């Protein structure tokens, strides 16, 4: 089954290290940033802006995809974890969380590792007691730690890796179809 297509038959992964994500795909942009991919997202983007963007554009909008002359990825599946598998195939990033490489899911800025003392007044006391490693966003100031929700994240990534292993590509009419067996 086809789950995505690129509007060019090119070798994967592509060399671009930055993507622009259509405003319908907020979930994807947060995950890409968590995995260290520079992903831009703006709910107020109009189609005219999106048409002229130089980076890879990721969209679910067939009409926008059809009109784009520059490199674009159309996601034809609604399964979120398949989106991650496809993006990993196309951009070549590993489907594994590494906090040293992560960007802030909220604003996309770099994270820096900080001491427990540095965040003492910024996180709940229970979190402070249970964790020793913290990261601070250099953009919005949000604090991150490896908490219980990381179990769910690791599980999703494991599913995405399995899916990625079952993907193949096929060039049809100068579109690169991404097919899940």
Q: Which residues bind Zn ion (CB under 5 A)?
A: 104, 106-107, 109, 137, 139-140
Closer to Zn ion by CB, 140 or 172: give it. 140
Q: How far is the CB of 104 from Zn ion (least distance, A)?
A: 3
Is residue 172 helix, strand or coil?
A: strand
Asked if residue 131 lies in contact with residue 147, where contact means CB atoms within 8 angstroms, the answer is: yes
Closer to Zn ion by CB, 19 or 34: give it. 34
Whether the CA torsion 41, 123, 158, 161 is positive or negative: it is: positive
Q: How far is the CB of 136 from Zn ion (least distance, A)?
A: 9
Q: How far is the CB of 114 from Zn ion (least distance, A)?
A: 14
- Tokens 């769910």 locate to 152
Q: 101: which DSSP letter?
A: T
Which tokens is 139 given?
Answer: 């953009």
Which tokens is 126 given?
Answer: 């229970």
Is residue 118 helix, strand or coil?
A: helix
Closer to Zn ion by CB, 106 or 114: give it. 106
Closer to Zn ion by CB, 92 or 141: give it. 141
Q: How far is the CB of 103 from Zn ion (least distance, A)?
A: 8
């Amino acid at each position: 089954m086809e789950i995505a297509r690129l509007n060019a038959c090119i070798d994967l992964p592509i060399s671009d290290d930055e993507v622009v994500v259509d405003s319908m795909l907020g979930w994807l942009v947060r995950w890409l940033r968590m995995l260290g991919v520079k992903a831009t997202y703006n709910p107020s983007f109009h189609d005219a802006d999106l048409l002229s963007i130089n980076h890879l554009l990721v969209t679910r909008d067939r009409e926008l995809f059809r009109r784009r002359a520059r490199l674009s990825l159309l996601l034809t599946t609604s399964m979120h974890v398949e989106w991650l598998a496809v993006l990993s195939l196309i951009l070549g990033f590993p489907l594994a969380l590494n906090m040293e490489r992560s960007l802030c899911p909220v604003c996309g800025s770099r994270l820096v590792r900080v001491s427990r003392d540095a965040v003492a007044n910024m996180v709940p006391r229970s979190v402070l007691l249970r964790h020793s490693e913290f990261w601070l966003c250099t953009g919005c100031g949000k604090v991150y730690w490896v908490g219980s929700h990381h179990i769910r994240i690791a599980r999703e990534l494991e599913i995405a890796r399995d899916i990625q292993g079952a993907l193949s590509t096929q060039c049809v009419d100068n579109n690169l179809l991404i097919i899940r067996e």
